[in-house]
Amino acid sequence: MTTPLTLASSRRSDGTPVLTVSGEIDMSNAGDLDAALNSAAGDDGPALLVDLSAVEYLDSAGLTVLFAHAPQIELVANELLAPVLTISGLAELTTIHGLAN
């Protein structure tokens, strides 16, 4: 059974591609996230902004996907995800907006 996950692509007024993610990211849908990241990323344009502010759960499969895309993405995250993004080391590889310093 696949865990509910919503993925929506858009662009900000400055042309930055945005992937808005909501729900839970786990091994049942990490492939969908990977495909969406590949599709939404620009070739040579600005970094893809991945909005995780509505993500309620992120497991190691989701982290693996984010690590694979770390050089091309920036994240918007909520405080719920702060521990896993920090402890995993992802916060050292990409910019993360929305977390208290």
pLDDT confidence bin for 25, thresholds 50/70/90: very high
Q: Which CATH number fits the domain that encloses residue 45?
A: 3.30.750.24
Each residue's pLDDT tens digit, 58-82: 999 999 999 999 999 999 999 999 9
Q: What is the pLDDT of residue 101?
A: 56
Question: 33 near 50, Cβ under 8 Å?
Answer: no
Domain that holds residue 37: 5-97
pLDDT confidence bin for 98, thresholds 50/70/90: confident
Q: In the chain, how many domains are there?
A: 1
Mean pLDDT of the chain: 92
> What distance in Å separates the CA atoms of residue 60 and residue 53, rounded to the nearest whole number?
18
The pTM (predicted TM-score) of the whole model is: 0.91
